[in-house]
Amino acid sequence: MGLLLLLASTLLCGCIQSGIVANEDTSFKISSVTLTIEPAEEVPRNTNVTLRCQTKVLTSGNLALTRKYTIFKENRIVHTKMTESSDDVLYLLPEARVSNNGKYVCQLTIEGETLSSQPKKLKVMGLSKPTLHLNRTYLTEGDMVTATCLAPGETGVFGFYFYDDSVELGDVQTDSNRAQSTLHFTTLGLHRLHCFYTVDNMPVDVKSEESNEVIVTVRGLSIKPVLEISPENNVYEGDPLNISCRVETSGLNSENIEVYLSQDGNSRWLSMGKTNTKHRMTATGPQLTFECMMTMEHLKKSERRNVTVIELFSAPVLTMSPAEVFEDEPMTLTCRSEKVASEKLNRAELSYYLSSNQSFASNGSGVFKVKALKTDHTCIAQARGIRKTSKALKVHPKVAVSVPKISLQNKPILEQPFHVLCQSAVGSFPITYILYSNATKLKETVVHLPNQTALFTVVIYNAKELGSYKCEARNGGKRMQSEELVISAIVPLSRPTLTVLPDLSDISEGDQLNLICAVNGTPPVTFRWYREGDKHPLRITTSAETFKDYEVAVVSKQHSGLYYCEAENRASIMVRSNPVDIDVRMALWKKAMIGGIVFLFILLVVTAGCVLHYKSKRGKRERAPELSVKPSSPKSDDSLTVTLTHGTEVYKSASVRVNRSAVSVWTERKPEADNEEDHSTVSNEPDVEYTEVVHPRSAEAARAPLRRGTDTVYSELQNSTHGPPEGHDYGSVEYAELNGEQPETGQNHSDPNRNVRAPGTKTFQLLTTNTKQFNSSDGDWT
């Protein structure tokens, strides 16, 4: 418990010390930071400028916030302030100067959250005019003067520059508005001095106007250096030269005087001393320049002189002969100086040396016999201590051509140009290549560069011609000939012909089929057989012959169609034959079988017709006594029925289908005992019955004109198409002939069943009955 109280008190104290009050919300948000320049962003020099930083902070609590304001100028901090007040922060620039120019930004930071204003640019116009002051204006040669340049009232980082007319004498970089520089003058007379300054103002400096002008007078001293050279004229290479450097003081104190003798082109002086010095050397051409310089405190004076040196002999020139030579062959190198000062030097005094892998001395002629090697040679000519070296001679001996190789660059196709390449692996350029055909020169070409080739264009016009070609390579006196190349032209293929075996009119199922594709041209030939409609060839083969066949061992009707072949040889020209239409006929045994079937069918049809005709005639004779005579009135129930039953063939030949469930009758035939003999034989086919009905004349009809005749009505009944395909439950078909006298056309009768026909015609009516069978198992009729 005590530990918990101690921990709570510690946390409470820490909260109070850090300025956090319990149960108080201290959240905030910096809304905006704005920087303004007063009175304006562009002001003249000496204006009091104020930079005002205004902020807006949103907070939900009453706790004071510690605010840090930072003002930047060109990303450099120029002002910082910590405050808990929300008042504007001011940064003052009293009497603003050009050094205050730049971009300013105000930044506010609260508890790690920071927001910056948009940059504002201040421009202060105008710089004060600088003033120049010298500690003395009258000088003696060698004296120094102190110059002071002042930028009144300016601040910042300065660069001061001192000028003698347009010649800069010196410059000083400082952060003070005052600069001093010690100046000295190298020439006598009047000097007009002025200065100006610049203020470092990022990103460019601002330059002031020029200061006042101060005139300085420099007087000379009676002291000078003297340079003497002997001999001074007609100096030849190798002649000794005596040079002297001294000072004429005219009675002045010479304790602080020093002299230096130097030569142009030499970084070290030749000699030095107090008031005088001397030097001896051998003259070398073509010209020498010497300088004698004296120094005394800040005073420097010098004298320069040139010496022209006559050439004793010219630099040697190294030549070779012959101009072209092959490796390891002997050649001559000659080293010779073309010009010699004969009045001073005998040519025999010259000595020559050859510098290469070995050195060779000569007796003055400068001629060297060497072996031709790929190297650089130089020679040296020497006399009276003078040595001169020639320019390097680069010797590149020629390499003899190797045996050229002759080859074909493309296919030699008859009457088309092809190329023959001739090339040597080794040989110096230029190389001349010559192409021969059967010992006859055809063409010639010269190759000058390694990337060039000797390519000859050739055409063969005769297919029987066998060309024998050779090429020859030459460079200089070297000749090499290639091996013989025998070329035969490739004859392009003619249009192929497609031959079919057996003959097109004699192709039947089961035969062997051969499609022979033949062309004229140079083998080997690649043959392809196609059937129109197929994307891929039936067969592809390459043959050394100009013909080839595609065999189908056993053909069928599926092999019928259009066939063609394509051929191609090394000429790469594809040729195609005309298409051939192949029609595979039916096999002979199939034709015989079909003929037999047709003959049997016709025979069966004829036989069935005869049987039906015979039965029909016989049935009419047998059924004639069974006539059903009905009165002409439909109300009479008396009738005499004669039933004639025919066989199945008649039913089939009639081809009349009637639904067994539909019954259209005038009379319903009932089984009678007298007909049992006729129905002793049950047929599987429906019976066709003929019923002749004799209509008696009525009393009413007696008054009308009557005609005798017999009207026969045929009625046919058949099983429904929805019934079972087999069985004995067939309806019977009855043909009823109605005999009676019919009234003349146009008379009305009340009997709706009476048919009115024209004289001499018979009427047949369809009578449909159902044949029922007794089922002994359930005692019911079906």
Domain 405-488, CATH class in plain words? mainly beta
Cβ count within 10 A of residue 364: 12
Superfamily holding 317-395:
Immunoglobulins (2.60.40.10)
* Mean pLDDT of the region 82-110: 92
Average pLDDT over the chain, rounded to whole?
77
Q: Which of 244-253, 606-615, 707-716 has the highest mean pLDDT?
A: 606-615
With beta carbons less than 8 A apart as the criterion, state whether 717 and 733 touch.
yes
Percentage with pLDDT > 90 across the chain: 36
Residue 681: pLDDT over 90 = no
pLDDT: which is higher, 428 or 145: 145
Residue 231, pLDDT > 50, answer: yes
At residue 410 the predicted structure's pLDDT band, cuts being 50, 70 and 90, is confident
Write the CB contacts of 421 (distance below 8 Å, at least 6 apart in sequence): 406, 407, 408, 409, 453, 454, 455, 456
The better pLDDT of the pair 702, 162 is held by 162
By the 10 Å C-beta count (0-12 exposed, 13-18 middle, 19+ buried), 228 is classed as: middle
pLDDT in tens, 20-32: 333 345 588 999 9
The pLDDT value recorded for residue 16 is 36
Q: What is the CA radius of gyration of the chain?
A: 71
Judge whether residue 733 has pLDDT over 70.
no
Q: Provide the token pair at 121.
A: 């640019």
Tokens 């009119």 correspond to 505
pLDDT at 646 over 80: no
Cis peptide before 502 (omega within 30 of 0): yes
Q: In b/e form, how buried is each residue of 487-506, taking b as 16+ CB within 10 angstroms? A: bebbbbbeebebebeeeeee
* Ramachandran area for residue 673 (φ above 0: left; ψ -120 to 50: alpha; else beta): alpha
Please state the rounded mean pLDDT for residues 513-534: 93
Least confident of 181-185, 536-540, 580-584, 622-626: 622-626
So what's the pLDDT on residue 226? 93
Q: Are strands 214-219 and 138-140 parallel, antiparallel or unpaired?
A: parallel
- Could you tell me the pLDDT band of residue 360, with boundaries at 50, 70 and 90? low
Question: What is residue 779's predicted lDDT score, i.e. its pLDDT?
Answer: 43
409 versus 628: the higher-pLDDT residue is 409
C-alpha to C-alpha distance for 123 and 146, rounded to whole angstroms: 35
Q: Taking 50 as the threshold, does the pLDDT of residue 284 lie above it?
A: yes
pLDDT tens digit sequence for 119-147: 999 998 888 999 999 999 998 888 889 99
What gap in Å lies between CA 582 and CA 111, rounded to an integer?
A: 101
What's the mean pLDDT in 363-388? 86
22 compared with 602, residue with greater pLDDT:
602
On the question of pLDDT at 194 being above 90, the answer is yes
- Looking at per-residue pLDDT, the higher value among 201 and 261 belongs to 261
pLDDT value at residue 504: 81
Q: Comparing 636 with 540, which gets the higher pLDDT? A: 540
Say whether pLDDT at 677 is over 80. no
**Percent of the chain whose predicted confidence (pLDDT) is above 70:** 74
Q: What is the pTM of this model?
A: 0.40
**Which two three-digit tokens encode residue 206?**
């601002």
Q: Which CATH architecture has domain 131-219?
A: Sandwich (2.60)
DSSP-derived letter for residue 232 is -
Q: How confident is the model at residue 64 (pLDDT cuts 50, 70, 90)?
A: confident
| CA distances for 510 relative to 500, 538, 558, 559, angstroms | 16, 19, 12, 11
Pairing of strands 287-296, 257-263: antiparallel
The CATH architecture to which 497-586 belongs is: Sandwich (2.60)
Q: What is the mean pLDDT of residues 370-375?
A: 85
Banded pLDDT at 620 (limits 50, 70, 90): low
**Mean pLDDT, residues 427-431 taken together:** 87
Of 60-64, 322-326, 537-541, 609-613, which range is least confident? 60-64
Domain 224-310 CATH assignment equals 2.60.40.10: yes
Judge whether residue 629 has pLDDT over 70.
no
Q: Which of 129-133, 288-292, 500-504, 527-531 has the lowest mean pLDDT?
A: 500-504
Range of 50-59, 671-680, 718-727 with top mean pLDDT: 50-59
pLDDT at 717 over 60: no
pLDDT, tens digit, 9 for 90 and up, residues 149-182: 999 988 889 999 999 999 999 999 999 999 999 9
Backbone angles phi, psi at 4, to 5 degrees: -65, -40
Question: CATH number of the domain at 24-125, please?
Answer: 2.60.40.10
Q: What's the start-to-end Cα distance of the chain, in Å?
A: 113
Mean pLDDT, range 401-430, rounded to an integer: 89
Q: Residue 749's pLDDT is what?
A: 38
Residue linked to tokens 């190759």:
447
Strand ranges in 45-88 using DSSP code E only, listed in sequence order: 49-59, 67-73, 76-83
Distance CA 759, CA 696 (A): 17
Q: Nearest 5°: phi and psi at 393?
A: -105, 115
pLDDT score, position 777: 40
In the prediction, which pLDDT does 363 show?
63
Q: Which residue has the tokens 């104290």?
A: 13
Who wins on pLDDT, 680 or 68? 68
Q: Where are the CATH 2.60.40.10 domain residues in the chain?
A: 24-125, 131-219, 224-310, 317-395, 405-488, 497-586
Residue pair 369/379 in contact by the 8 Å Cβ criterion: no
